[in-house]
Structure 1
């Protein structure tokens, strides 16, 4: 990806590796890749595959895997999720009041009235429940 295009999971992983000027090797990155919710730990080989677009295509993506990689990289989970979404689906994300919209590149998600109405309804529903759900 070019520096002005959306991030990919591969670009995030490659940027942290010493071969691309980063502080890590696979052997220093991989041990930190632990899903904080489930304790899932991907294999060293799985983490290594993310450093190359060709190898990354062979990985089965799952929420625990993305959370583990985000933890290992020390990056915000939503950023890593957005990078994975773009790499594996071609969709991009936009933050809107009430949530994150996933959409085709070039679409102005803030103008998507149905999406906005759905997010507004969800925000209203959550506000009636105890706890701060949008912060979770």
Structure 2
């Protein structure tokens, strides 16, 4: 019923566009989506792709260690608050361990803070604004 697989950048972009760029004129494709070290995961519910996340080899200048940046975490609205994002994060942490990542970080939207906190992420620094999108915090999590 639920499966998690590697997906293409294009599949990730399609869900990002629906969830993260709804009514916002910004690109849904990110610089680095096609880099060799980048990977994209998708959670499928009864063969429908409903949740995506991308990880890019990118170090935050203030954090230490071998790092990946989490980008474009998005779950279709009708599937939110059902624990699917948590499953996707848990699965991704195993892959990050295999890739010797010591830390994962992200720019988390204010409205997603509680989700990331529940997954063990910590806030670093002060809130900042991304134009057209809103308030964000840098959040990070050591990969053990």
TM-score normalised per structure 1: 0.27
Structure with the higher strand share, 1 or 2: 2
